[in-house]
Structure 1
């Protein structure tokens, strides 16, 4: 949610020596079109499947992070025969919300609230993604600040809001038991975003990971110590090793 394909640079740089790595800017993000776009989990899943078809990819493995994890699940459920493996990094969709909680979340996460964020708020939001925010994430923060001055800013922001709402409006937890693929689930032990600390204060990231992974017949769960939500950037060395091991077997 709200990020773009450079999120994967630290992983691609290492994994590309053994695997073909393709990162996607979803509609509304990065270099992709930002006008009059469908944006929800199933709509984004269709886009991912179209990319796979267009590039004629054989035996692809989807690696989805956060909202991307929920999208990856949606894509696999739409086209089970395409995939043998699935990787979910700090996926959304494992944590569940009541209709009342979802309504409240959507009422506070609005177009106006995002567009009015100050630089200090933007930096604070980024910091929440990490156990210890690395210095080299600064270029992403600068990109986020620059987009404020572009003509696409409102369209980008609307895509972020629509994606957030889509995660809530298209819950996936009850469909996890339909996933037959060998699945790797990874969370950071210090994830400050999953679970939601205000709405689910008695939950832990470990419990959320265990509850979701338990629904998938062929899933393994790994927890990364001293690691936040943005695990591909927070602990890239550990994530790359885990990914390589999973993909190799």
Structure 2
């Protein structure tokens, strides 16, 4: 199994290193800023071979030039990001495969937060690097498309195995938990996770990764088929999940 190191970058970005011990290859998932990534490499002794970019936003790519200059890592980025990602070596889109040593990931195009967003799905290892598409207890803000586009992207996660570990691009867990509780106050599993999130935060940690099973039980944006969430946004149970999702996302924008 791969080794994974997570750490904070900027104020709330999540830095991730993915290491294949069999080959020695190592990837950074995005580079929000150079310093924390380089420190994590120094602490682990891992040699960075790859940078896998989820999307073009500045807070995910700012540190790429410095880290690439220091390590020589190959930069893989969404083809649809164009020239907005610096120092790109490989451009990928839907259906492509990326490798980190002996680890292989399918590239999913998951637009909604932005038009070029991709997700990396390591099926054998049951790992997803979801960037700003899916968060612990939340989802990304819709910025460049109708909300139903993001709903379709999120729906791609639902058939994955419940044990799939999901790594997201930000630690928004506490604010997401407050909104989720407002939307579904009767969800006992959610109450327990919100309490856990508070305890973990006090210890200086965060609930990333999460698992798909945990998210299906507690994340309102994956639960748009639930009658309680339809009622929470004044829609009839059985309403189109895309409409429920849209109403939830608009509520969260105002929350």
**TM-score normalized by the length of structure 1:** 0.32
The answer to which structure has the higher strand fraction is: 2
The answer to which structure has the higher helix fraction is: 1
Larger RCO of the pair (alpha carbons < 8 Å, separation 6+) = 1
**Structure whose CA Rg is larger:** 2
